[in-house]
Amino acid sequence: MLKQIFSFLLLLAFAVFATQNAVKEANPFVFEPVDLGLLQQGIKKSVEIKGKNISSQSIELENVFDQMTGGENFTYPKKINPGQNFKINFTLNTAYMEGEFMHNIILVDTSGSPYVALVKGKIENPIVFSERYLDLGFYKNGMQRKWTFYVWNPDKKTLKLKLKPELQKEFKAEFKDVKLDVSDFDSLREGGNTPAVKVTLSVVNLEKPKNSLRSIRKIISFTCETFPNATPELQVTGYWEE
- Average pLDDT value over all residues in the chain: 88
Residue 151, in any domain of the structure: yes
Quick one: average pLDDT of 196-206? 95
155/213 same-domain check: yes
136/202 same-domain check: yes
Select from 104, 124, 144 the last residue of a domain.
124
Select from 57, 91, 124 the last residue of a domain.
124
C-alpha to C-alpha distance for 90 and 34, rounded to whole angstroms: 13
35/66 same-domain check: yes
146/112 same-domain check: no
- The string of DSSP codes covering 11-28 is HHHHHHHHHHHHHHHHS-
Question: Which pLDDT score is estimated for 88?
Answer: 98
Give the range of the structural domain holding residue 216, as residue numbers without chain letter. Answer: 128-240
Structural domains of the chain, count = 2
What are the tens digits of pLDDT across the range 2-50? 344 344 444 444 444 443 443 334 689 999 999 999 999 989 999 999 9
What are the tens digits of pLDDT across the range 115-147? 999 999 999 989 999 999 999 999 988 899 999
What are the tens digits of pLDDT across the range 179-190? 999 999 999 999
DSSP 208: P
Judge whether 179 and 193 are in contact, CB under 8 Å: yes
CATH number of the domain enclosing 48:
2.60.40.10
145/55 same-domain check: no
Quick one: average pLDDT of 76-99? 95
Radius of gyration of the chain (CA): 27
Question: Which pLDDT score is estimated for 182?
Answer: 94
132/68 same-domain check: no
- The string of DSSP codes covering 132-193 is SEEEEEEE-TT---EEEEEEE-TT-----EEE-GGGTTTEEEEEEEEEEE-SSGGG-EESSS
Question: Which pLDDT score is estimated for 195?
Answer: 97
Residue 18, in any domain of the structure: no
Select from 124, 154, 188 the last residue of a domain.
124
- Which H or E element spans position 93? strand 85-93
Residue 11, in any domain of the structure: no
Quick one: average pLDDT of 77-104? 95
Residue 7, in any domain of the structure: no
Question: Which pLDDT score is estimated for 157?
Answer: 94
103/200 same-domain check: no
114/198 same-domain check: no
C-alpha to C-alpha distance for 172 and 202, rounded to whole angstroms: 5
Residue 213, in any domain of the structure: yes
195/155 same-domain check: yes
CB-based burial label for 51 (10 Å; 0-12, 13-18, 19+): buried
Task: Work out the number of other CB atoms within 10 angstroms of the CB of residue 183.
Answer: 10
Quick one: average pLDDT of 95-110? 93
Share of the chain above pLDDT 70, in %: 89
236/137 same-domain check: yes
Question: Which pLDDT score is estimated for 26?
Answer: 67
Residue 8, in any domain of the structure: no
Judge whether 115 and 61 are in contact, CB under 8 Å: no
CATH number of the domain enclosing 134:
2.60.40
